[in-house]
Amino acid sequence: MTPSGETNAAPPAPPDAARYGAVLVPVDGSDLAERALAPAAWLADRFGATLHHVAARVARDERWGHRSYADEIADRLPGATPHVSDDRDVATAILATAAELDPCLVCMATHGRSRSAAVVGSTFADVAARGKAPLIAVGPRAVAHTNEAAARLLVCLDGGPVAEQALPLAAAWARALGLRVSLITATDPILVSREETHADGHYPPDGDPRVYLEAMAARPELRGLAVDREVMWGLAYPHIGIGEHLERHPAALVVATSHARRGVARAALGSEAAKIVHRSPAPVLVQPAAHA
């Protein structure tokens, strides 16, 4: 049960929740899609996994020409294995390749603005909804932070049970990657003082987000991990506060939960979750939400 008394529908993360033999990056020739390559290479190294990339909508008579593009990626990332698919449905091609490489982590760029970027934007939401597995979203500002100061995993919470579903996965990843955990929530102090968030079922039992984060830090799945917490007070939208926090205090990864039926655009932090991915200077580990 959550502090609000609501049942958390997400099962505990299994022991292999942070074990991968392969990391897969969808590419389409655009610079935006290729932004996911560096974070994916870092994750593959940390997990001891192989690095792969896949291109969809490549007709069989076009595969020879595509080889030169794969060679360009290999020059930058030696050992990266190319895959091609003639499937016109990009999400289907990504998921099919990931299934062949199972256990596989998909790491992909998202929130592009170019119509030519076939694997970004709505395709990410499609993969998140249809795949049901955690995946990495690399927004246009994201980079792979590898320094010691960034050796933490930031978990975005909003006081509700859906966002809390990411905690078991976050704990598993923190242990596997040797990261400390930071729990963060962004809230309006005026609403808290009026107990409006408490009336909405957020930040139980007394409407204080500080008490709420203390309760989250004491969750059994986080036992044994270094955990810190912070409330971002202010009138700004959550993605702005969280983005500014990350600029001052870098993190290796951000963790958020999305509604699996609609992808990251309808995530646990409301419509702000998609903006967090777009604004975040760190890759975002997205946990599709379970539904009761």
Asked if 167 and 274 sit in the same domain, the reply is: yes
pLDDT tens per residue, range 250-277: 899 999 887 544 444 333 334 566 777 8
Pairing of strands 284-289, 135-138: antiparallel
Q: Are residues 178 and 88 in the same domain?
A: no
Q: pLDDT tens, 43-91?
A: 999 999 999 999 998 888 888 878 888 899 999 999 999 999 999 899 9
- 31 and 130 fall within a common domain: yes
Beta bridge partners of residue 154, listed in sequence order: 182, 254
- Please check whether residues 153 and 282 belong to one and the same domain: yes
Among 168, 175, 169, 159, residue whose Cα is nearest residue 46: 175
> What proportion of the chain, given as a percentage, has pLDDT over 70?
74
Q: Are 192 and 203 in contact (CB under 8 A)?
A: yes
Give the model confidence (pLDDT) of 26-56 as tens digits: 998 888 889 999 999 999 999 999 999 999 9
Q: What is the DSSP letter of 6?
A: P
Q: What is the pLDDT of residue 112?
A: 40
Residues 59 and 126 in one domain: yes
User: What number is the average pLDDT over the span 4-19?
Assistant: 54
Residue 249, domain extent: 148-289
Q: What is the CATH number of the domain that holds 86?
A: 3.40.50.620
Averaged pLDDT for residues 126-153: 82
Q: Indicate if 223 and 195 belong to the same structural domain.
A: yes
Q: How far apart are CA 175 and CA 108, in angstroms?
A: 23
- Give the domain-ending residue among 136, 158, 177: 136
Note the pLDDT of residue 234. Answer: 74
**Confidence at residue 159, expressed as pLDDT on a 0 to 100 scale:** 82
Confidence of residue 208 (pLDDT cuts 50, 70, 90): confident
Same domain, 284 and 154: yes
Strand segments, DSSP code E, in the chain are: 22-26, 50-55, 81-84, 104-109, 135-138, 152-156, 180-187, 227-233, 253-259, 263-267, 284-289
Instruction: Summarize pLDDT for 272-291 with one digit per residue, the tens.
Output: 667 778 888 999 998 876 65
What is the number of structural domains in the chain?
2
In a domain, 222, yes or no: yes
> Among 88, 109, 136, which residue terminates a domain?
136
Collapsing DSSP states into helix, strand and coil, what is residue 241?
Answer: helix
* Last residue in a domain, options 111, 136, 161: 136
Q: Which pLDDT does position 191 carry in this prediction? A: 54
Spatial separation of the C-alpha atoms in residues 128 and 104, rounded to whole Å: 14
Do 217 and 252 share a domain, yes or no?
A: yes
In a domain, 3, yes or no: no
